[in-house]
Amino acid sequence: MTTPQVLLVDPIPADADAADTAILASLRFVPPTQPILSAFDAGAGRGDGVFETLGVSDGRARGIDAHLARLEASALKLDLPAPNLAQWRRGVDAMLDALPASGQASIRLVITRGTDAAGPPTCWLTGTPVASDFPERTEGIRVVTLSRGYANDVGEDAPWLLVGAKTLSYAINMAALREAQRRGADDVVFTSTDGFALEGPTSSLILRQGNTFITPAIQHGILAGTTQADLFGFLDAEGFECVYRTIPVGELLRSDAAWLVSSVRLAAPITAVDGSVIPTDLALTARMNAALLG
C-alpha cells in the first residue's frame, strides 16, 4: 500500500482568474508526518469547517464537478470564503498523479475557518490508497433506524443547524455508528421526528419499488449525494424511473430493495432494518458498483 499523500493549499480568492502557474505555486506536497494544523485552528477546536471525499478507481476520481459544487455550497452555508474551484480541481489532479494508477483510493478536500475569523482558511487535500475489498458490496449491511432529533423540514426554519452541509462536525454521525454496533448492526438510517427516513451518517439512501427508485428529497436538508446522483444517471439509462421525495420510515420494510451509497464504499445493499430482513437484489447491486467503478 502506497504512503498516504498530503497536499497543502494556499487559498486563492474564488473570483481570481489565476494562471495555472500561480495555481501550481499555491499547492505544496508535504510529508504525511509533518504537522500542518495549529492547535488553535477552528477545525480542530470546534469542528468548524467543511470537507468532501472523492472515490478513486484506477487513477480516475468520480464526480469531481459534483464534489466541488457541494464543497462550495457547504462553505457558503458556513460563511466561509468561497473556494477557487479551478485551484481545487488542480489540486485533485495533482493528487491523482501522486496516487497509484491502479486500484482504489480516496481523496479528501478540507477547508477550516483557520486560526482567525478575519484571516485565510486552512486548506488541504489528502490522498489515501484503499486496500479494502469492501465485502459489504456483496454481503450487504444490517441497519438500525435512529432519530436525528429534528423534523424533516427543520432546515427551512433553522438554517443555522447546517443540515445539508458537509461539515467537519461528525461526532454525532460517529456516535450513531457506534450505537448501531451496540445493537448488532453495521450502519444507520437516520429518521426525522415526524416519521421520515433521511440518510446514513456517511451515505445516501436509495429504495427500489418495482421499476421506480426513490431517494429522499434534498430540499428537506438531505445532503445531496454525489454517488446517488451517479447511480440515478445509470438507472435512468437502464430504463428505470428515478424519483426524489419524502420517504415514510415504513417504506424501508415495504420496498423491493434498499441501499446505502457513498463515494468510497459505493452501493451497499441493506439486508435488514431493525432486525427485520428485507429483500436484496445482488445482481443489480453488482451492476451498479461495476458502473461506478467503470
What are the start and end residues of each CATH 3.20.10.10 domain in the chain? 136-293
- Which cell is 10 given? 494556499
Confidence class for position 125, pLDDT limits 50, 70, 90: very high
How far is Cα 146 from Cα 273, in angstroms, rounded to an integer?
Answer: 11
Mean pLDDT of 175-204: 96
What are the start and end residues of each CATH 3.30.470.10 domain in the chain? 5-130
pLDDT in tens, 192-218: 999 999 999 999 999 999 999 999 998
- CATH architecture entry for 136-293: Alpha-Beta Barrel (3.20)
pTM, full prediction: 0.92
CATH number of 5-130: 3.30.470.10
How far is Cα 227 from Cα 243, in angstroms, rounded to an integer?
Answer: 15
CB within 8 Å of 260: residues ≥ 6 apart: 141, 143, 187, 189, 200, 203, 204, 205, 206, 267, 268, 270
Q: How many angstroms from the chain centroid is the CA of residue 122?
A: 20
* CA-based radius of gyration for the chain: 19
pLDDT in tens, 142-153: 999 999 999 888
